[in-house]
Copies of this chain bind each other. A is one copy, B any other.
Amino acid sequence: MSDFRHAVRVYVEDTDAGGIVYYANYLKYMERARTEYLRSLGYAKPALFDGLQFVVRDVSVRYLKPALLDDYLQITAILTAVSRVSFEMQQSIFCGKQLLARGAIKAACIAETTKRPARLPQEMFEALKSYIA
């Protein structure tokens, strides 16, 4: 079970002419939180390691309330499923106690050179399974 939270400040780069955070940029925040969550579990370079990489297969986001310039956000990451070749996480974006957005992703492991599906390292598979919420 995870209470992992990663803090993110909203900078000008993240906003758009509508005065809010651009919708694609929430996916950046979500990935930062996933990266830091995996780092906290001991995977220091989770995006590219040992000839493997994770690619997102599915993402969905529901936007409830816009984040604004200078907001200080908290992004959660919870492991909800792990298989031999993929994992799933649920994530939420908060400003204070206000829930701004909720999302889910499924990431698959592929070989860096061939870009074809590959198995998670056995110890990573076992470890991630033990962290499922």
Which residues from chain A sit less than 8 Å from chain B, CB to CB? 9, 11-13, 15-20, 22-25, 27-28, 31-32, 35-36, 44-45, 47-48, 53, 55-63, 66, 68-70, 112, 115
- Report the separation of the CA atoms of residues A22 and B47 in the bound assembly, to the nearest whole angstrom: 12
Identify the closest chain B residue to A65 (Cβ): B115
Chain A contact residues: over half helix, strand or loop, or mixed?
mixed
- Report the separation of the CA atoms of residues A44 and B58 in the bound assembly, to the nearest whole angstrom: 31
Knowing A57-B63, A59-B60, A61-B58, the reply to whether A48 touches B18 (Cβ < 8 A) is: yes
Does B11 lie within 8 Å of A31, measured CB to CB? yes
Identify the closest chain B residue to A70 (Cβ): B45
- Report the separation of the CA atoms of residues A70 and B35 in the bound assembly, to the nearest whole angstrom: 9
Given A12-B47, A17-B47, A59-B63: 4 more A-B contacts, CB < 8 Å: A11-B32, A15-B16, A58-B62, A66-B115
